Structure 1
Amino acid sequence: MPANRSRVALTVAATFAFAATGSVAFAQKKYDTGASDTEIKIGNIMPYSGPASAYGVIGKTEEAYFKMINEQGGINGRKITYITYDDGYSPPKAVEQARKLVESDEVLFIASALGTPSNTAIQKYMNAKKVPQLFVATGATKFGEFKDFPWTMGWQPAYQSESRIHAAYLLREKPDAKIGVMYQNDDFGKDMLKGLKDGLGAKASMIVAEESYEVSEPTIDSHVIKLKAAGADTFVSFTTPKFAAQAIKKVAELGWKPMFIQSNVGSSVGSVMKPAGYANAQDILSAHYAKDGSDPKWDNDEGMKKFYAFLAKYAPTMDRNDGSVVYGYGQAQTIVQVLKQAGDNLTRENIMKEAANLKAFTPDTLLPGVTITTTATDFYPIEQLQMQRFKGETWELFGPVYQGKIGG
């Protein structure tokens, strides 16, 4: 071969070699602890026991959803290993379980840990470790404060957004209301109360009585009696399932007929309204962002068809009437979306980056008009709600979808 042709051949070969090397570097897979070519480890903490055990089905639903994803080939070829532990709704136990998940099980991130007290207890630890505390199952406003806690993100509408919508409804429909508020004595209840007062603004004096309760109390009957005795004609119940059902029963037992507003987290048909007695629950008001699995009007909805098919095959013992089942499905879908977007860059930093890069994502179970959008300065994924009224054995939606935007 002539010298000049030899040089040309070497140059071409070098070019191809560089291109190949560059291509490999560009497509290089990145992993942190908890991720590999074959596996993605996700941790979870749930109250499978204790006063908030009704929410435990969220973890079971997510477990079943990830089983379905794995059977379908996983995410980008990787199977999900889902490790979920019970904390009994106890903050010290939540800390213990979080440390176990991060330091012993070596998960990539923790997702959907339930409850304001438990997530508060682990928030500083998770951020110090720089491990994502993703889509916490609580609406406390502080779980979207990205500047202070860049490794923590909420999912459902913030409690303050929800109770501001309740306030707007009251100001419009019953501006002379005498409001009695019952709230759980923790960040959940206090957040809801703050949003209500902020929403009422100059008319916060409409609140004539406040009663707080502890989750350790066996019954809240005495608190309901006090609110009725205070002359309230409007009852606002910022309660979790067990206590929401108790409140509905007691109000009926007393023959009290207030306008009754129930917080979203205590509005499940399966775990609240049915146990409380459908007759006792008539005309209760709430606000929601997800479809009601018990409502036949969604039977021909494409998203809910997928949800029902999932239940039939992967979670046949789950109650479609239970709002927590609908919740777990929507959260699991959102987690999967983040992992799909992350591709082969499965670092903890990139997981947070993609969680903050959701663009009008719509899980099958969200109401029409409700979507998930996040940015680097907006860690509140769902910020819309619609009012609903309980009739018969289902919730009936009415009015527009309200925006309760907090994030930037």
Structure 2
Amino acid sequence: MKGHLALIGAAWLMLTGTNLVVAAGPEEIRIGQTLPYSGPASGFGAIGRVQEAFFDKVNAEGGINGHKVKFISLDDAYSPPKTVEQTRRLVEQDEVLMMFGSLGTATNGAVHRYLNLKKVPQLFVLSGATKWADPKRYPWTMPGSTSYDSEGVIYAKYVLATKPDARIAILSQNDDFGRDYVAGFKRALGDRAATMIVAEQSYETTAPTISSQLSTLKASGANVLYGVVLGKFTSQAIKGAAEIGWKPDLFFVPTSASSISFLEPAGLDNATGLISSSNQKDPMDPQWADDPGVKEYFAFMKQHMPNADAGNANHATGYHHATLLMTVLRACKDDFSRENVMRQAASLNDVKLPLLLPGMSATTGPDDYLPYQQLQLRRFNGKSWVAFGGIMDDR
């Protein structure tokens, strides 16, 4: 029976294989995406909205090498089964050339193998899970973020340097997103992890609240909180800690949780002192007021999204990743085959982007799919994120 099923599977691959690599139509480049426009992480929907406006602008200016872009961004509500449904629709019905900038570790993981079997580029995944940068096993997938593991290392390095006697509590999402962050953090603490970490709690993305976890962590006597939280749980962690009178000396949240849209529901006063990191310029930071890249971003927002909050980090993130994809698409010239898209994406050489921090660039190779490997720490001052220290990396 097993042999019979294997033959059926092989036959299916042979039948579908002839259709695996399809060039874009002569006049249109179809780009697919799934994002949570509803559900607990709906704040990230701003990324897709700004990218839709970005590609509308590109089309109004003549497209890419004469080809118009059809950008199709669908709601997956941050639910893996919905991601599968929407991705299959985009690939099999809308016949997109690629998937681009879809959000989430579990959601992208649900379509990871499918897209690689179909040989559909899964470009610049908005997740820092280490598994996206695996060109040998998954050559059609490329991350768009610094890895969570590396980000965790950087936070741990800061704790060791500034508070070596810390009592650390860890709150993490119970999935690959949370596990990667915690693994990097513990790796950098090394042998000291066993004594410095005094409590650990996790939560499910389906949970209504995380109040019991916060109470348990506070009771441990921890004075440092490493919060691997996302979406509404970012707001709950910040507000919940304040409500129980817990003000850790150091409170970390991931780059992906640092949008003002997640801080506002928690109360900006409660968020003051939070530490995160970034490889992007914060458009609201006065130090970038005269920066050409930031000016370019604000001009775009004023003209193409006049009613949107240009200070929302998710808008800046969407714009940032769209400029990266433009670099790849322009390099394709007139060959918009899926193979050439991946070839160009894996050939980025010291690419400077408008919103990348000075000294940082995007670089990839056939054996190295991580476009970014550096970060800078930043602290929330009640109004905006302020960078401090120098550029750090996982070394």
Q: Same fold (TM over 0.5)?
A: yes
Q: Shift in Å at residue 34 of structure 1?
A: 5.4
CA-CA distance at 1:42 after TM superposition: 0.5
Given candidates 283, 286, 294, the residue that maps to 1:293 is 283
Instruction: Give the counterpart letter for 1:184 in structure 2.
Output: Q
Pairing 1:225-236 to 2, within 5 Å after superposition = 225-236=215-226
* Equivalent AA in structure 1 for residue 272 of structure 2: Q
The answer as to 2:54 corresponding to 1:89 is no
Please identify, of 364-373 and 326-335, the stretch whose mean Cα deviation from structure 2 is larger: 364-373
- The aligned counterpart of 1:255 is 245
SS in 2 for 1:43: strand
Deviation, structure 1 residue 354: 0.4
Q: Secondary structure at the match of 2:125?
A: coil
Q: 2:49 — aligned with what? A: 60
Q: Deviations over 1:288-326 (max 9, x none)?
A: 111113223322110011100111111123222221111
Q: Distance in 2 between matches of 1:83 and 1:286?
A: 31
Deviation at 1:220? 1.2
Whether the 8 Å CA contact 2:116–2:140 is kept in 1: the answer is yes
Task: Work out whether residues 378 and 385 of structure 2, in 8 Å CA contact, stay in contact via their aligned partners in 1.
Answer: yes
Output the amino acid matched with 1:47. Answer: P
* Partner residue in 1 for 2:128: 139
1:74 and 2:63 correspond = yes
Which amino acid is 2:63 matched to?
Answer: G
In 1, Cα distance between equivalents of 2:158 and 2:257: 19
Q: Structure 1: which amino acid aligns with 2:192?
A: K
Amino acid at match of 2:36: P
Give a deviation string over 1:199-225, Cα, whole Å, max 9, x none.
111111111111111111122121111
Q: Which residues of structure 1 form unaligned runs of 5+?
A: 1-30
Residue in structure 1 matched with residue 379 of structure 2 by the alignment: 389
Return the alpha-carbon distance in structure 1 between the equivalents of residues 313 and 359 of structure 2: 19
> Aligned partners of 1:36 and 1:120: how far apart in 2?
28
Distance 1:296 1:78, change over 3 A: same
Aligned position for 1:196: 185
Report the residue type matching 2:138 in the other structure: F
Aligned amino acid, residue 175 of structure 1: P
- Is the contact between residue 21 and residue 120 of structure 2 (CA under 8 Å) also seen in structure 1? no
Q: Quote the offset at 1:257 in angstroms.
A: 2.1
| 8 Å CA contact 1:385, 1:404 repeated in 2 | no
Does structure 2 conserve the Cα–Cα contact (< 8 Å) formed by 1:109 and 1:131? yes
Does 1:304 pair with 2:294? yes
Equivalent residues of 2:37, 2:76 under 8 A apart: yes
2:257, 2:173 → 1: CA distance? 11
* Alignment pair present for 1:372 and 2:357: no
SS class of match (2:371): coil
Distance, in Å, in 2 between the alignment partners of 1:317 and 1:45 is: 23
> Could you say which residue in structure 2 is the equivalent of 1:314?
304
Shift of 1:70: 0.7
- Structure 2 distance, partners of 1:404, 1:57, is 30
What is the 5 A alignment of 1:5-404? 33=22, 35-205=24-194, 206-258=196-248, 259-268=250-259, 270-404=260-394
Q: Which one is further off, 290-299 or 228-237?
A: 290-299
Q: Deviation at 1:255?
A: 1.9
Is the contact between residue 80 and residue 107 of structure 2 (CA under 8 Å) also seen in structure 1?
yes
Task: Please list every run of 5 or more consecutive structure 2 residues that lacks an aligned counterpart in the other structure.
Answer: 1-19
Change (3 A) 1:63 1:34: farther
Q: What residue is the counterpart of 2:12 in the other structure?
A: none
Please report how far the alpha carbon of residue 131 of structure 1 lies from its aligned counterpart in structure 2 after TM superposition.
0.6
What are the superposed Cα offsets for residues 122-174 of structure 1, whole Å, 9 maximum, x if unpaired?
A: 00000000110010111111011111100000011100010000011111111
Q: Give me the whole-angstrom Cα distance separating, in 1, the residues matched to 2:73 and 2:377.
A: 33
Contact kept in structure 2, 1:290 and 1:367, CA below 8 Å: yes
Q: Find the aligned partners of 1:184 and 1:323 in 2 and give their Cα distance.
A: 22
Whether the 8 Å CA contact 2:97–2:120 is kept in 1: the answer is yes
The sequence identity of aligned pairs, in percent, is: 46
Contact 1:293–1:322 under 8 Å retained in 2: no
Separation in 2 of the partners of 1:274 and 1:210? Answer: 26
* Equivalent residue letter for 2:242: A
TM-score (norm 1): 0.89
Please tell me whether the aligned partners of residues 179 and 236 of structure 1 are also in contact (alpha carbons under 8 angstroms). Answer: yes
Query: Which letter does structure 1 place at the counterpart of 2:365?
Result: T
Q: Following the alignment from structure 1 to structure 2, what is the Cα–Cα distance between the partners of residues 57 and 257? A: 30
Aligned residues of 1:34 and 1:106 also touching (Cα < 8 A): no
Greater Rg by CA: 1
* SS, match of residue 148 in structure 1: coil
- What is the SS of the residue equivalent to 1:135? strand
Q: CA RMSD in A?
A: 1.4
Deviation by residue 1:8-66 (Cα, 9 ceiling, x = unmatched): xxxxxxxxxxxxxxxxxxxxxxx963513311111111111111111111111111111
* 2: CA distance, partners of 1:277 / 1:199: 32
- The residue identity in structure 1 corresponding to 2:190 is G
1:352 to partner: Cα distance? 0.5
Distance 1:134 1:285 in 2: 29
SS at match of 2:141: coil
Deviations along 1:330-371, one digit per CA (max 9) or x if unpaired, are 111111110000111111011001001111112211111221
**CA–CA separation in structure 1 for the residues paired with 2:45 and 2:356:** 21
**CA distance in 1 between partners of 2:152 and 2:308 (Å):** 30
Q: Are the counterparts in 2 of residues 241 and 267 from structure 1 also a CA contact under 8 Å?
A: no
Distance 1:322 1:352 in 2: 31
Letter in structure 1 aligned against 2:389? G
